[in-house]
Amino acid sequence: MSIESSQDAPLHIPVMIKEVLSLLNIIPDGIYVDGTVGLGGHATQILDQISSKGKLVGIDIDEEALQYCNQTLAASSSSVSLIHNTYDQLPRILSKLEISDVNGILLDLGISSLQLDSEERGFSFSGSGPLDMRFDRTNHRTAADVVNELTETELADIIYTYGEERRSRSIAKKISQVRPLVTVSDLVEVVRSCTPPNYRHRTLARVFQALRITVNEELEKLETFLKHFIDILAVGGKVVIISFHSLEDRLVKQQFRQLKENGRIRILTKKPFRPKADECKVNTRSRSAKLRAAERIF
């Protein structure tokens, strides 16, 4: 997650960059993967520590972000491969690049300001654009499809499971009564009409989170990655994952614990790292970030 300006070349401030670089402990001639490269904030800093013999593989499902990233990284003397794909496809991506293993992997699972501030992308409940929420705009399924096509029970389950929202059933019932919903404003009005004003902002955030996770299959992709990353991480290689809600963080914590019990990794963060107060002042959207890291030992 990051802050970007409204200019053509966005300003990108990566989350917990000092912690990321310290934990990756970059080998100058090594191969590194930024699985959610976005606008290239973390990638730029990683490339600064890689020699001309090193390599960075940047992956992102958002083509618009990749276009900015390509401009940002164009001047690098190191080898860079930018791939339009999802990080859960990392084994296949590396196979095509004829790379057997890597020295470090970074995932920043936050939604960027480029996405969040775009009216037409529909990620923010403060906008009024179409109810979209797709990271990959070649994907045909939008948030409008989800709210208009699923049953009331299915909607309630999604909002409760992925948004951890206690009023999920009343919200789903109201959606089923008034749909079709087409715009962000349509959905905001539904939530407003069936929830109390206190903490409504949080309720809206949870509902939008639940729909975004569903549209982009975010947890399924993370689960797939967590099952396979160990096989492409070299012994001594590091993995760093920054999550922004408890569902993601729980999956990372559980898989790290299991790999530790199996003797495959050493956990580098006894407790998840959190952004320091001065960073949160500069980038308020970083406040919910949690960073976990591990090193492959077998």
- Report the CATH number at residue 163: 1.10.150.170
- Would residue 77 count as lying in a domain? yes
Range of the domain at 290: 17-114+218-296
Instruction: Judge if pTM exceeds 0.85.
Output: yes
User: Residues 20-79: pLDDT tens digits?
Assistant: 999 999 999 999 999 999 999 999 999 999 999 999 999 999 999 999 999 889 877 679
Mean pLDDT of 145-174: 98
Same domain, 39 and 106: yes
Residue 10, pLDDT score: 53
Confidence (pLDDT) at 127: 85
Q: Which of 196, 216, 236 is the C-terminal boundary of a domain?
A: 216
Q: Report yes or no on 64 lying in a domain.
A: yes
- Based on the fold, state whether residues 84 and 107 are members of the same structural domain: yes
CA–CA dist 205, 196 (Å, integer):
14
Q: Does 207 reside within a domain?
A: yes
Is 115's pLDDT higher than 70?
Answer: yes
**Average pLDDT in the 208-226 region?**
98
Answer whether residue 119 is part of any domain: no
From CA 208, how far away is CA 205, in angstroms rounded? 5
91 with 234, same domain: the answer is yes
Question: Mind listing the pLDDT tens digit for each residue in 269-290?
Answer: 999 999 999 999 998 888 999 9
Please report the pLDDT score of residue 6 as a whole number: 36
Q: Which residues pair with 293 in a beta bridge?
A: 240
Give the pLDDT score at 83: 97
Q: Are residues 78 and 193 in the same domain?
A: no
Name 127's Cβ contacts closer than 8 Å, sequence gap at least 6: 119, 184
Residue 241 host element (H or E): strand 233-243
Token pair of 259, please? 């790999």
The answer to whether position 11 is within a domain reads no
Domains identified in the chain, total number: 2
Percentage of the chain lying above the pLDDT 70 cut: 96
Q: What is the pLDDT of residue 285?
A: 80
Provide the b/e sequence for 236-258 (b: ≥16 CB within 10 Å). Answer: ebbbbbbbbbebbbebbbebbee
Let me know whether 167 and 251 are in one domain: no
Look at residue 128 and tell me if it is in a domain.
no
- When the pLDDT of each residue in the chain is averaged and rounded to a whole number, the result is 93
Q: Are residues 199 and 228 in the same domain?
A: no
Domain C-terminal end among 159, 192, 216:
216
Same domain, 61 and 87: yes
Q: Is the pLDDT of residue 92 over 90?
A: yes
Select from 166, 186, 216 the last residue of a domain: 216
- Based on the fold, state whether residues 101 and 230 are members of the same structural domain: yes
Give the rounded distance of the alpha carbon of 185 from its chain centre.
Answer: 24
Mean pLDDT on 96-122: 92
Span between the terminal Cα atoms of the chain, in Å: 31
**Three-state SS at 61:** coil
Residue 223 and residue 97 in one domain? yes
pLDDT of residue 284: 87
What pLDDT, on a 0 to 100 scale, did the predictor assign at position 43? 96
- What's the CATH code of the domain at 54? 3.40.50.150
